[in-house]
Structure 1
């Protein structure tokens, strides 16, 4: 049941309009006052976006990037906003208004109203969501945390495969805090400890506002790109190989440039922070393991070259060792040969690709097997079943069908 007293208090404190609707989108209650800015928005348009997500919350932004938070409960929808997350560029505003054929008098009216909107940096979204969720459900929880970890795991898996595939005084205070914020986050990432990262994020107010341009989406993208660069450098200093660090940075930049909403940009930024923390954690776990620095380096080299057919001689040259010494050291620590371990890595990637529905021919070419038949035979020898049977056991047989023709296992056709 919605606590109207809490919502009224929230409205009064944040100076934000709050609209409560039933499940049919009919407005039940509106919390507004002379301290809130009133602009007309179609709440049906905002709430219809829930049909595109399984989450019980979403962020909607308007014509000039003004933001709304919408949540759904068992019986109600709640819309909070609008607010701003960046400065308004008068030239950008003028251009957008002219493109929409808005008269000058109306332009001045809208500009004055937008300037009066409450200002909350995009990075405060997490705290706002925690607060509003508590008012609605009585639960104190970070709704962004679990989806973020799930998204980061998916992003990390996709990235691994992609590697194979190829303000004045206030400003001064803001910059000081921004430096402290970035430094503490970077220290947590370089520690490789997720618990420390969570503790650091919870202690910081997250009130970092990107003011690099008047376009809030562009500003947040620019700020994220700078963060990615610092994260990549910090991860390299902590032992992550340069190829992984900078390929992942470039992919984060690409996906950020493609993002169409402020929420998507923030999600990618948080994902990058968690991703690099996990990467550094993996490196540190290896360093405290029983393996030598040389063997750890060889493993990283193999992981970065799964789309090639490499020989022990090439690896030996990379690590300035003789082939015989390298073979002996690797087998002594890993209890298998270098090429056996390399094949094991390729088979693990092949499993992921099969789960994505990729064809045998595509996988064979990607992982540098001579033919589809060779890949199929090798997969069956290592795993114990054919690639297609593996896919079928994972309920993916339908994904292996192209234009009504199910691909045949080359190894079974002989």
Structure 2
């Protein structure tokens, strides 16, 4: 499937618009739950790189289904810079790509892209091998890159590959990531060079690290983790012991904690503390509530304890944080 067809499918979705320039096409997400952007740079006929910035729990995916099954798409290579992205394997189990990891697959998202931490930044390479073979033969010949071999190495039998990036790959991807802020057209030529270097590395690497896609979670386990997250964040004044939550879902406390950490990448206590501190920072900036009132709203009856945790999170006391934000907004 060609990249223009993919983009065309995206803009059929409510809340997603398209902005074009001479060198790129930018999809803009503006939904009830958040915003995001995906900027596509066509590098060669058949190879496109997209820079992704999302501040939303989900991004609806186009319907690429045919005859009731998910259509096999182009080779998709994802690199997660920040955040966490949910992927569904062929066996309908769930895996997660997190900071510093790369994934290779030929499967599109079924219904939506899910970002459990609500924040995601990364890159995605779209490789349409048929178009490459027809229109970019010189690329494969000049640089001796066999994209079919890459698919066979990393995605045998339609599988999904996930692993931490090796140091040499991380060096290439870090340079590619930094090019987003460099004005075009200069950055385009650099994107082409580093992209070819990346695929050459993927083809020629001797020892491929084992795929972490073997560590997966079932739909039921993921659902439990997400329901727990909704419970503990719906009213930050409330405290829900892990044993109580586990009993509610008829699983062991250890299992519950494993499900949550697998989906959200953090222990329940650390995740909830960060949510509480983020909400406290928002209230300090947007309201005139006292520190004691804000502490209570985010679940701290002890103001001193709240101030201590807040300072550890932001490096400033609550009052210092409020003053600094007020000065910024003047």
The TM tier, using the shorter chain, reads 0.3 to 0.5
Max radius of gyration: which structure? 1
Tell me which protein shows more helix as a share of its residues: 1
- Relative to the length of structure 2, the TM-score reads 0.33
- Relative to the length of structure 1, the TM-score reads 0.27
Tell me which protein shows more strand as a share of its residues: 2
